Each structure stands twice: as structure tokens, then as C-alpha cells.
Structure 1
Amino acid sequence: MSAAAEAGLRRILAVVDLLTDAVDEESLVPALLPLLLAAVPGDSVVWSPRAGSADRPLTLPAGLLTDDVREAFAREAAADVLVAHTARGTGTPMRRSTLQTRDEFHALAAYADVYRPCGSEHQLAMSFPAGLADGVPRKVCVAFSRGGGSDFTDDDVAAAAVLRTRLGHLLGRLAPPVPAPCPVTRRESAVLALLARGLTNQQIAHRLAISPRTVDKHLEHAYAKLRVGGRVEAANAWLTRGPAAAHR
């Protein structure tokens, strides 16, 4: 990063640090978007609360994404390599031009329906973890766009990388805490211990002198408490946590 770009980014980060008193993402983002565009200059920036989705985005300028554009994005984003990078990949700052040629970009259905109407000829996008939503890890995506002229530079990518780290920490602080799993009972613990040894429900029932139906119910309760979806996950969780997950 050039000395001038580094000095400019330091000024931006000093302001970003002032936003660490924010109490939630909703109040933070409107103040943050102009700072992001100052750090990574472009014509627009989009903050997507869920990477890969057009659900409730915040934009600068405001109202950049019409309902038609958002609906088109929902239909066509699956074929977009930059969306795949932010939603399912590492999410490191990436220029679209690094992933595909201009002709490949223009051939996308999303180009005609989403990006061209928004004036997005050049893009730089990144994503970062932002806690859980409905029990599922969430990533925020930030996408910068330019309507013409030159592409984003290496300095822009470096600035975005520094911002990504800072924003990830900030969103992690704002995310609601994950509640501790409820410990399993002694009987659920006994069932899980035998499950982890590879016994079937019938064999567990025989060992513990209970019915297979009771084994099913103990496992059902244990799955919910351990936040797992089935036998293999439950066995792995028990092998990892062992008696520490159980009532004394």
C-alpha cells in the first residue's frame, strides 16, 4: 500500500474506531457507509446483512437497489462467481476482474438485470463473520462499485483487507451471545455413551433395561440440548465433550 493510501486509511480507521460504541448493526451501518466509500473510493457501496442475499441491504447512495433489481439478484446470484466467493468462499477482498473477464461478466444474466442498472462496471467485494442468525453462522457482505473509468487498485484491495478485519471484530462484539447448551441428564448421558460406542437403539435399550422407544426419546432430548441433528453428530459431540456436558 502506498504511503498516501496508508495515511488515508489510518484517518478512516480512527473514525471507524469511534463507532465502536454502537449498540447494534442497524444504528452502526448508516454512519459507517460514507467512511467505507472514503476508504475504498467508488460510486456506491452495498452492505448486505446476509452474504449472497438481497434481503434488507443498506446502500449508499440510498435506494440504489430497486425491488426489481433485488428480485433479479435473488434469481440469478447463484451463477455469479463473486457472490459465490463472498457467500461460500473465504470472503477476502476480491475484484471481479480477478475472477472473470469483462466479457464473462457482461454475459451474466445478472449483469443486464442487476449490475448494469446499478452502474456497476467494476466491483470489489468482501465478507466477514457476523455472529449467528437463527442459530446459523452469518456473514455480512460489503460490495463497492464503480460505474466506469479504472478498476479498483491494489491499494483499494489492501485497504479493504484492513477494514474487513476491523469490521469482523466490531460485528462480533455486536452479535448477541450464544446461549450455553443445556446439560444432558444422567440417563441421556448413559444413552449417549453407548451410542458413541456404536450400539444400536435396540442394544442400548437392552443394556439399560429400558424400551427402544425410551431410548428414542432420550436421544431426541439430547440432540436438542447438544444442538446436533443426528446420531453421528451426537456421538462426535459426546466424544468431544463427554461427562462435562452432563448433570452431576
Structure 2
Amino acid sequence: MSAAAEAGLRRILAVVDLLIDAVDEETLVPALLPVLLSAVPGDSIIWAPRAGTSDRTLTFPADLLSQDVRDAFTREAATDSLVTHTTVGPGTPMRRSTLQTRSEFHALAAYSDVYRPFGAEQQLAMSFPAGYLDGAPRKVCVAISRSGSGSDFSDDDVANAALLRIRLSHALDRLSPPTPAAPGVTLRESAVLALLAQGLTNQQIAHRLDISPRTVDKHLEHAYAKLRVGSRVAAANAWLTRGPTATRSGR
């Protein structure tokens, strides 16, 4: 193994060690961000606990994003193909340069309002299932950026991010607080209902939970009977009124 490969392996193992020892997400993430930024080198890293939003976002360096930048991201995220990949797409590690040319990136409103203010010229982003947040299933998004003076992310960077993605997902799922229990609705039905209440289609729910649309239909059919409703709108309203009520006995 080359010296560079050994150094890369040591950086990945440093992340793994942190994940193994973690006892809660609140203390893990601030310590994790600089170590992740060493494992997949860049100038800055953004950790979004709910992919596709700026809610509770943490960064390294700290205070990377002004409120104006956060507000602009909320307005313009839907037009950004890299954000789409991490939210409703598969969320596998992806270089921005794989999705669009530099000129296409610079033409985005999000470039001038979001990315240029903190010097993000090259980006690598990924998302992964991470248990529950506020009773709803969620994906965490991680975006690493490099300035214009740096080179683009390499194939090795993408491969290392893929290795870390699996371990991050397992660790965050382990640290996720349990869903409040109530009779009847299973954990998987709870996950489907929570996303339904957020306005997602069956296809989007299937993508988010890594199941088929047909399976989503079956979960909704069972949940309708338990909630005593007969439509998507009624089920969503019932879920928003009652809150998450799943037990871990049925996935």
C-alpha cells in the first residue's frame, strides 16, 4: 500500500473510531465534522440533519453560512440538481461536476446567492437514512466544498465518501431517539404516514424509505384501517393531529 493510501485509511479509521464511541448526536457532530473534512479533504463541510433544508444545519468552519445564505438556499434548493440528488434521489456520493458543467453551475441563482458567498466552486454531496428526527424519518445530508483554487474531487474521494456513508447511516440510526409508542401503527407505517403528512407522493416516499411504491400502497392501506380513514388527505390530517404513534414491534 502506498503512503498516500495508508494516510487515507488512517483518516477514514479516525471517523470510524468517533462513530463507535459516540453516545449522542449532539456531541458527536461538532467533533465529527473536522475529521470528515480530513477524510474527504475540502475547505468546508455542511451537515444538514434534515436533507434539503437549512434546519439545524452545522458547518465547519463554524458560522460558514449567513442567515441570508440560509434563506436563499430555502428558496432555491429545488432548482439545484445536486440538492435534488441528495433529497429525493439516491443520495450516493456525487460530485457536482458529474451533474453539470461549471458554466451551468454558475448560471444557477443558487450559485450567486448560496455557493459563491462561501467559495464553493467544487462540491461533493451525499445523504443517508439516519433514523428519526422529531418523530419523522429523515435523511442527513453532508456537503463538502472546495474553493476555486483547489482541484475537483477525485474518484478516490468519492469511494471514501461511499465507505463513510454506510457507517454514518448506521451510527446515526443507532443514536436516533426512539419513536414515541402507541398501539396499532407499526414503525414502517409511521414512517410512511409521516412522509405523507409532509406532502410527498408515493414515489417520493418509496425513494426516501428505499422500498417500492407498491409497498407504500400496502402500508397506507393498513394504516387507513387503523386510523379509520379512507383517503390520503384524511390520513395525513389524522397523523398530524395524533402525532407519531408507532411501536418498534412491526417494521
Q: 1:223 touches 1:230 (CA, 8 Å); kept in 2?
A: no
Moved more, 34-43 or 12-21: 12-21
Q: 2:135 touches 2:180 (CA, 8 Å); kept in 1?
A: no
Q: 2:132 touches 2:173 (CA, 8 Å); kept in 1?
A: no
Q: How high is the sequence identity, in percent, across the aligned residues?
A: 65
C-alpha deviation, 1:57, in angstroms: 1.0
User: What SS is found at the alignment partner of 2:85?
Assistant: helix
User: What SS is found at the alignment partner of 2:117?
Assistant: coil
User: What SS is found at the alignment partner of 1:84?
Assistant: helix
Which residue of the partner structure matches residue 151 of structure 1?
152
When the two structures are superposed, what TM-score results if normalisation uses the length of structure 2? 0.71
Q: Does 1:222 align with 2:223?
A: no
C-alpha deviation, 1:3, in angstroms: 4.6
C-alpha deviation, 1:18, in angstroms: 2.7
For residues 141-220 of structure 1, the aligned pairs below 5 Å read 141-148=141-148, 149-179=150-180, 182-183=183-184
C-alpha deviation, 1:91, in angstroms: 0.5
Residues 29-50 of structure 1 deviation map (CA, whole Å, 9 limit, x = unaligned): 1111111111111110111111
Root-mean-square deviation (CA), in Å? Answer: 2.6
Q: 1:54 touches 1:73 (CA, 8 Å); kept in 2?
A: yes
Letter in 1 for 2:122: H
Q: 1:80 touches 1:108 (CA, 8 Å); kept in 2?
A: yes
Which residue of the partner structure matches residue 135 of structure 1?
135
Q: 2:76 touches 2:110 (CA, 8 Å); kept in 1?
A: yes
Separation of aligned partners in 1, 2:67 and 2:94: 26
Separation of aligned partners in 2, 1:76 and 1:165: 29
Residue 34 and residue 177 in structure 1: after superposition, are their counterparts in 2 closer, same or farther (change >3 A)? same
Residue 4 and residue 129 in structure 1: after superposition, are their counterparts in 2 closer, same or farther (change >3 A)? farther
Which residue of the partner structure matches residue 12 of structure 1?
11
Separation of aligned partners in 1, 2:170 and 2:105: 32
C-alpha deviation, 1:230, in angstroms: 5.9
Moved more, 148-157 or 92-101: 148-157
When the two structures are superposed, what TM-score results if normalisation uses the length of structure 1? 0.72
Q: 1:126 touches 1:142 (CA, 8 Å); kept in 2?
A: yes
Which residue of the partner structure matches residue 77 of structure 2?
77
Which residue of the partner structure matches residue 107 of structure 2?
107
Letter in 2 for 1:144: I
Which residue of the partner structure matches residue 62 of structure 2?
62
Letter in 2 for 1:16: V
Q: Does 1:123 align with 2:117?
A: no
C-alpha deviation, 1:220, in angstroms: 8.1
Aligned length: 196
For residues 83-98 of structure 1, the aligned pairs below 5 Å read 83-98=83-98
